[in-house]
Chain A
Amino acid sequence: MSQTTEAPEAVSVNVATIDGNEAAAYVAYRVNEVCSIYPITPSSTMAELADQWASEGKRNIWGEIPDVVEMQSEAGAAGTVHGSLQAGSLTTTFTASQGLLLMIPNMYKIAGELTPCVIHVAARAIATQGLSIFGDHQDVMAARSTGFAQLSSGSVQEAHDMALIAQAATLESRLPFMHFFDGFRTSHEVMKVELLPDETIREMIDEELVIAHRNRGLNPDRPFIRGTAQNPDVYFQSREAASIYYQKCPEVVEKVMEKFSQLTGRTYRLFDYFGSPTADRVIVLMGSGADTVRETVDYLNENGYNVGVLQVHLFRPFAGEKLLAALPKTVKHIAVLDRTKEPGANGEPLYADVIGAIFEATANGTSPFAQMPKVLGGRYGLSSKEFNPAMVKAVFDELVKPAPKNHFTVGILDDVTHLSLDVDTSFEIEPDDVHRAIFYGLGADGTVGANKNTIKIIGEDPRFYAQGYFLYDSKKSGSQTISHLRFGPRPIRSPYLISKAQFVACHQFNFVHRTDVLKPAAVGGTFLLNSPYPADEVWAQLPRIMQEQIIEKKLKFYVIDASKVAREVGMGNRTNTIMQTCFFAISGVLPRDQAIEQIKYSIKKTYGKKGDEIVRKNFEAVDGTIANLFEVQVPTTMSSKQELRAPVAAEAPDFVQRVTARIIAGEGDLLPVSQVPIDGTYPSGTSRWEKRNIAEFIPEWDEELCIQCGNCSFVCPHGVIRTRLFHKEMLEGAPEGFKSAEIDAKGFPDTLYTLQVYAEDCTGCTLCYEACPVRDKTKVGRRAINMIPKENEVIEAAQCHNKYFETIPVNDRAAVDFSSVRGSQFLEPLFEFSGACAGCGETPYLKLLSQLFGDRMLVANATGCSSIYGANLPTTPWSINHEGRGPAWSNSLFEDNAEFGLGMRVSSDRHRASAERILKAMANQVGVGLVDDILTSPQRVESDIRRQRARVQELKDKLVQIGTLEAKMLLAVADSLVRRSVWIVGGDGWAYDIGSGGLDHVLATGRNVNILVMDTEVYSNTGGQASKSTPLAAVAKFANGGKQVNKKDLALQAIAYGNVYVARVAFGANPQQTLTAFREAEAYDGPSLILAYSHCIAHGINMERGLDQQNLAVHSGYWPLLRYNPEVRQSGENPFILDSARPNLKFKDFSDNELRFRMLKQTNPAAVDRMMESAQAGINRRFKLYEEMAEVK
């Protein structure tokens, strides 16, 4: 055992520990001149890396820096790719899922023009009944008719190698290639791989072919046209003219693979067979699943089976005879596994191709098999559903059953069609000499980063191979991460989750009460817990299920108070280095001393440039760790009576208990098909059952200091603060400690005011405190609402008080003052407890919308942060009021949101027209007076609307009595007689970029739709890529050196129409103006557009200062507030109202607090002064223009 104090001798520079995206991008960058892209999960990283390398000046194999261009959508990116190819440049793009679908029209063209090109796809599920960011082959299968060749990679190493093979093959074959690998499972899996040296890459690329590509490009010095319109006489022949290229392509790919093998020693074939040469059963599939099957095949063959696996690399063009030739002649049973679904088809694509090949060969007499094999088709792994060895065995076993299922599914329980296979979950094949570790962490606690670092450290040791895969949460705050790490002496081919880990670490103590953390712990393994309780006290704090497993599985149990150690060495709450050190100290993967030295070496490398201080602190943390790591003496018997916290309360509705709760508890995989909605329809109001309890500090109301302004409730992003008026009689039944105060207004005798905090739903963002205008005179720093530690008593009290609060009648909407901030907060929020980030700048707008119009509102929500915190299962924050009404919400796609909402408007209007028609026809039956009242009700103010509701209810009751068909038809549309409010909401990514065409068109229709753009000035949901809303000088992905161009002025563009209501609001600066604008917009009978400034974590700000930043944004003129109200023109006034005063601050006063601007000094020091000046000048110019338009003197 070496006891070196340095790193092990340097490994070959050709080895790296990277993920699939980086592996593919590494090659793509080197063999292309232009990358035209649009970000989409899980492919975004490839584009981001290309952009990063370009900004670092890294060069391709021709010594040039590729151009990386971010477009407005994938359709745009594909257009630019096409154009760049047409002009003769080597061009690429990276995409997935919906993005790939948007590229399809251009792909047909590129293929039809026989233009070499490789696009890289991190294959992802397609949005159908629901959206999924996770991996499967639905997208690449949807594009299989385009004429692109399709080359599949099944691992990180393959993603690297195939990228080059594809590039060489496309140049020679002239067919464009789609290179794909599984989204997340491969794209985000971290592995040790061998990197291709530049010389090898150069050798694979034939320069003559590159020249030929250039020579085919558009050039006025040798002009031609391409892209004709063709008629019936020649189109068909022209289509067939390319056939010969498709016939030759498989051989070209084989040739390229052969050359690759000679250069690197890694051999690939169009179809790679592994397993018994005399197998009677074979599984055919492509992608990462092939490695799982391969590993299982090896194991099974050592245990009496005779099986094999055929991995498909080249899917298109499909060389059927070569597939057959690759199979053992002995095969009798074949299962073709497709990682996609093609509803209505006779089997999925790969299955169809395989049986097609077998049938043709049999019919031709060229079949290599004595007897035609029996072939079954099956589906697996949709949306990154686990595909593990047990499932592989289930497939092999199914093949030889007397009546095997065809078109089966594996990995789920389908109790409706009964086509799912039974899987023996106890079947495991992982060897003991592979070390498996699972880490539970809290998002942002550094666990994942530390684990990636651990993989690098261990991977650098030439004796070890390492693999890492990371699971994240559906929430953006308080989220759990689970890292799966493997280390072993052989290359790791296990692309599935660990089920028996020799090491389990839990980095957040409160997880132990919510999650069965030790479920994957192997017998005899080690458990490490970050615990605030010392070794001799922690046992009593554990739940029963944990004590049970520690004892039964004979686990070695260690604890460390990592938070304390971190604080003591001055690292705040950064516990990652400490926990990482623990892992090395006790897991035994590397000898302890060597491991510690490795960590220190790695710390020096990572932090050395940031200063000796940080290095020293981290070293101290490492040393402090060992001293504070203690083994717990495990008792022989269990003593705990604590059960895991129930995922939802017992009173939760049936669906929530049956489905939602299972998902929350991490048991979603066990939900059978019969339990889930058939059409993607989910109930509203489910987030209130979740009670995540993620805040350490929550607000406490001081009813005596409070001036009842409603600001805290207004700004609360999560709807945690509720206010209500009630008659003082109700105080008699109130529980002890229930707070209330006399109402701070005249004309309300005997009325009390209460403010409630939903403690268990609070994220601890402190915006309520920041918004409170009250100052305690005696204790400076205290306000009327203050943050306090969330002790158990506090939670219990809150539960009790909230319950009572819910029995207090909701204030009558007809009596509430909608026009004041305070009044608005007596309205029920119908958007509550979302999974948005703590302190989110978008959600207060949605909450306000739901309060003002929620009970008669349809929402078309674009994909983005709002569709994720709005509807990422298990729960939704969109909810239902006490009368059973609430926002009717739907997310369609990203690019179509404005159009989607327009459709809702047209439909609602249509229904209203129908209702009115039938109503008139039935006037005598229903009552002429009632009909008249319904038809003439103006419904401008809430009291009108309430009265209309009452009338419509009366109408509906009558219609039920009448019971004719006509009555039923009217009944079905009667609800539309109450004024419907259609809201089209989304972020700037949608509104300024991908959806801008649709948005513009919808504005131009003049229909009564309300558009809310929550402007974070960047693509927040996908990790901070620049949009056209990103301001000048801000640093963002694809704007590394600062955005060079001014922000698009969407307000001015909309104002130019003349008949569009336009507002710019910022609730953190002026909640009253925000409220006024929302109401004016909704009241305006025409298109309305509200641009709502949303501070965001992507700005690099202290989120507690979000409201301050909004204020600075407005007062520096950076975000002027305005309303353009066409209705005002009727009275002869200027419709352009500038709501903010002339700026009294500089842009710098605002931007100095935001990392997105400060970063410019680092990324573009030469230009920072000039750009900041330009930004200030732009602000000045625009404000002057606004003043002119508003005719301000």
Chain B
Amino acid sequence: MELKTRYLGLDLKHPIIASPSPIPHNIDGIRRLEDAGAAAIELFSLFEEQIRYESESFDYFDSISSNTFAESLSFFPKMEDFKAGPDEYLNLIRKATEMCEVPIIASLNATTSEGWDDFARQMEQAGAKAIELNAYYIPTIDQSSHAVEQRYVDMVSVVRNAVSIPIAVKLPPFFSSMGDMAMRLAGAGANSLVLFNRLYQPDFDLANLDVTPALELSTPHEIRLPLLWIANLYGHVPCNLAGTTGVHSGKDAVKYILAGADVAMSTSALLKNGTGYLQTIIDEFVLWGEERGYESVNQMRGAMSKKNVLDPSAFDRANYVKVLQSFLPKRDLQVRQGRWDPI
């Protein structure tokens, strides 16, 4: 089966990518992913928040403890040149692009316009082949949906103006009109939409009555939501689509490609089973495709998208109606193709 894939204008040897995780935290981890067969490697996200936290915390501790008591006018060595910045990350990009054959995609989670602009530029300069904008935030209670949506669009515009390399946008699933958002983002300059971001959701510690952080690895069934939307969007948005979350086997990757994704990404499975597991996923993917007689990935792509599938209503009612079995003749169903469910 011909595996070559084009994603974000990059030529990939196959459609399976290693998505951001702690693994590509250093050059060692990146090499291991390459050795395991990743077609491209996405670095962990650079968080503007983290950088600002470092910078502000240094500033805070420096000032709160200084010039208070005559014997200890300061507590830490002076760092005149201190600049909490992405240097480490940029160095990693540089080193990785030098040492690896496969494309390195940087990932950015900024919070301010300046942050998106500044860091994206620096990543491009450091040699990143593309940037994934890892944007998620929890809107406050008084923000309108319009404001929320505009924020995402603005983010893409800012980065589009700043860099010439391709931009992927990793989205959360909570938009009222996913299709509209997808079009607007593509219009603002996104070259790919990555579905979906898994948001940090705290848990309650009942013993201590405490709100505690909780980050768990994805489970296979989490594939369903992004699968649904990729299938819906395929053929309608003028940009790539990428499926992320819930890829725990080659078959999961198959599902995404069939839905219409250009690439499928895996993280949790690798964290759980080791980087070598990536090869297992690739092998499974290839095996399935060859067994079915597909000649190429391109042929697979979108075969089960809403556009192409016989009964698209399966996607419209999120399967509810299908369970009840459609009473309409097939021809009537076909007439309904291409129309969003009005109810």
Point out residues on A near B: beta carbons under 8 Å: 41-42, 45, 48, 51-52, 55-56, 133, 184, 443-444, 446-449, 470, 472-473, 475-477, 479, 481, 574, 609-614, 775-777, 780, 868, 1020-1024, 1035-1037, 1040, 1097-1098, 1100, 1155-1156, 1158-1159, 1161-1163, 1165, 1169
Please, which residue of chain A has its CB at the minimum distance from the CB of B117? A612
Which DSSP category, helix, strand, loop or mixed, fits chain B's interface?
Answer: loop
Residues A574 and B79 in contact, CB atoms below 8 Å apart = no
CA distance A470 to B76 in the complex (A): 20
Q: Which of B194-245 contact A (CB under 8 A)?
A: 208-211
| Size class of the B contact interface (CB-based, 8 Å) | 35 or more
B58 located at the interface, meaning its Cβ lies under 8 Å from any Cβ of chain A in the complex? yes
B88 located at the interface, meaning its Cβ lies under 8 Å from any Cβ of chain A in the complex? yes
Chain A residues, CB < 8 A from B55: 610-611, 614
Contact check: which of B65, B78, B83, B209 meets A52 at CB < 8 Å?
Answer: B78
CA distance A1169 to B29 in the complex (A): 14
Contact check: which of B26, B67, B210 meets A444 at CB < 8 Å?
Answer: B67
Residue with the highest number of chain B CB atoms closer than 10 Å, among A56, A614, A1100: A1100
Chain B residues, CB < 8 A from A1036: 76-77
Residues B63 and A449 in contact, CB atoms below 8 Å apart = yes
Chain A residues, CB < 8 A from B174: none
CA distance A613 to B73 in the complex (A): 27
Chain B residues, CB < 8 A from A447: 67
Residues A1159 and B78 in contact, CB atoms below 8 Å apart = no
Chain A residues, CB < 8 A from B211: 780
| Known contacts A1037-B76, A1155-B76, A1162 near B82 by CB under 8 Å | yes
Residues B67 and A443 in contact, CB atoms below 8 Å apart = yes
| Known contacts A449-B66, A1035-B77, A1155-B58, A611 near B52 by CB under 8 Å | yes
Chain B residues, CB < 8 A from A777: 209
CA distance A520 to B225 in the complex (A): 72
CA distance A611 to B56 in the complex (A): 10
Contact check: which of B70, B75, B79, B112 meets A1162 at CB < 8 Å?
Answer: B79
Please, which residue of chain B has its CB at the minimum distance from the CB of A55? B77
| Known contacts A610-B59, A613-B112, A1155-B61, A481 near B75 by CB under 8 Å | no
1/0 per residue, CB under 8 A from A, across B84-118: the answer is 10011000000000000000000000001010001
1/0 per residue, CB under 8 A from A, across B47-74: the answer is 0000010110111010111111111111
| Known contacts A446-B63, A868-B71, A1159 near B76 by CB under 8 Å | yes
Chain B residues, CB < 8 A from A1022: 71-72
Residues A444 and B66 in contact, CB atoms below 8 Å apart = yes
Residues A613 and B114 in contact, CB atoms below 8 Å apart = yes
CA distance A1036 to B79 in the complex (A): 12
| Cross-chain pairs A/B with CB under 8 angstroms, 23 sampled | A443-B68, A443-B69, A444-B64, A444-B68, A446-B67, A448-B67, A449-B63, A613-B112, A613-B114, A614-B59, A780-B210, A780-B211, A1023-B74, A1024-B75, A1024-B76, A1097-B65, A1097-B75, A1100-B61, A1155-B57, A1155-B61, A1156-B76, A1161-B88, A1163-B77
CA distance A448 to B64 in the complex (A): 12
A-B pairs, top 8 by smallest CB distance, nearest first, are A443-B68, A1023-B72, A448-B67, A775-B209, A1024-B75, A472-B70, A609-B83, A41-B71
Residues B77 and A1023 in contact, CB atoms below 8 Å apart = no
Residues A1020 and B72 in contact, CB atoms below 8 Å apart = yes
CA distance A1100 to B59 in the complex (A): 11
CB distance from A477 to the nearest CB of B (A): 8
Residues A1100 and B208 in contact, CB atoms below 8 Å apart = no
CA distance A56 to B79 in the complex (A): 9
Residues B67 and A610 in contact, CB atoms below 8 Å apart = no
CA distance A717 to B57 in the complex (A): 25
CA distance A1161 to B85 in the complex (A): 11
Please, which residue of chain B has its CB at the minimum distance from the CB of A777? B209
CB distance from A964 to the nearest CB of B (A): 52
Chain A residues, CB < 8 A from B54: 1158
Residue with the highest number of chain A CB atoms closer than 10 Å, among B58, B66, B68, B70: B68
Point out residues on B near A: beta carbons under 8 Å: 26, 52, 54-55, 57-59, 61, 63-84, 87-88, 112, 114, 118, 208-211
Contact check: which of B26, B64, B74, B81 meets A1169 at CB < 8 Å?
Answer: B26
Residues A449 and B67 in contact, CB atoms below 8 Å apart = yes
Residues B70 and A1035 in contact, CB atoms below 8 Å apart = no
Residues A470 and B67 in contact, CB atoms below 8 Å apart = yes
CA distance A776 to B210 in the complex (A): 11
CA distance A996 to B6 in the complex (A): 68
CA distance A470 to B73 in the complex (A): 11
CA distance A1092 to B113 in the complex (A): 48
CB distance from B74 to the nearest CB of A (A): 6
CA distance A914 to B64 in the complex (A): 54
Residues A1023 and B83 in contact, CB atoms below 8 Å apart = no
CB distance from B41 to the nearest CB of A (A): 20
Please, which residue of chain A has its CB at the minimum distance from the CB of B64? A444
Please, which residue of chain B has its CB at the minimum distance from the CB of A1100? B61
Residues B76 and A610 in contact, CB atoms below 8 Å apart = no
CB distance from B78 to the nearest CB of A (A): 5
CA distance A475 to B71 in the complex (A): 11
Chain B residues, CB < 8 A from A1155: 57-58, 61, 76
Chain A residues, CB < 8 A from B209: 775-777, 780
Residues A574 and B63 in contact, CB atoms below 8 Å apart = yes
| Known contacts A444-B65, A574-B63, A775-B208, A133 near B77 by CB under 8 Å | no
CA distance A476 to B75 in the complex (A): 13
Residues A613 and B52 in contact, CB atoms below 8 Å apart = yes
Residues B84 and A1162 in contact, CB atoms below 8 Å apart = yes
Residue with the highest number of chain B CB atoms closer than 10 Å, among A444, A470, A472, A1162: A1162
| Known contacts A443-B68, A574-B63, A1022-B71, A610 near B77 by CB under 8 Å | no
Chain B residues, CB < 8 A from A574: 63
Residues A481 and B67 in contact, CB atoms below 8 Å apart = yes
CA distance A777 to B80 in the complex (A): 49
Residues A479 and B68 in contact, CB atoms below 8 Å apart = yes
Chain A residues, CB < 8 A from B64: 444, 1097
CA distance A1147 to B174 in the complex (A): 38
Residues A1024 and B70 in contact, CB atoms below 8 Å apart = no
Chain A residues, CB < 8 A from B66: 444, 448-449
Residues A51 and B77 in contact, CB atoms below 8 Å apart = yes
Chain A residues, CB < 8 A from B59: 610, 614
Please, which residue of chain A has its CB at the minimum distance from the CB of B111? A613
Chain A residues, CB < 8 A from B26: 1169
Residues A476 and B68 in contact, CB atoms below 8 Å apart = yes
Residues A1035 and B76 in contact, CB atoms below 8 Å apart = yes
Chain B residues, CB < 8 A from A776: 209
Chain A residues, CB < 8 A from B74: 1023-1024
Please, which residue of chain B has its CB at the minimum distance from the CB of A1019? B72
CA distance A1023 to B69 in the complex (A): 9
CA distance A562 to B31 in the complex (A): 53
Residues A52 and B77 in contact, CB atoms below 8 Å apart = yes
CA distance A48 to B82 in the complex (A): 17
Please, which residue of chain A has its CB at the minimum distance from the CB of B55? A610
CA distance A9 to B84 in the complex (A): 31
CA distance A306 to B67 in the complex (A): 43
Residues B73 and A1023 in contact, CB atoms below 8 Å apart = yes
Residue with the highest number of chain B CB atoms closer than 10 Å, among A51, A868, A1159: A1159
Chain A residues, CB < 8 A from B210: 780
CB distance from A1163 to the nearest CB of B (A): 7
CB distance from B106 to the nearest CB of A (A): 19
16 extra A-B contacts, CB within 8 A, seeds A610-B59, A1161-B88: A52-B78, A133-B71, A444-B64, A449-B63, A449-B66, A472-B70, A473-B68, A610-B55, A612-B118, A775-B209, A1020-B75, A1024-B74, A1100-B76, A1159-B76, A1162-B79, A1165-B88
Chain B residues, CB < 8 A from A41: 70-71
Residues B75 and A1098 in contact, CB atoms below 8 Å apart = yes
Contact check: which of A48, A780, A1021, A1158 meets B77 at CB < 8 Å?
Answer: A48
Please, which residue of chain A has its CB at the minimum distance from the CB of B54? A1158
Chain A residues, CB < 8 A from B75: 1020, 1023-1024, 1097-1098, 1100
Residues A610 and B70 in contact, CB atoms below 8 Å apart = no
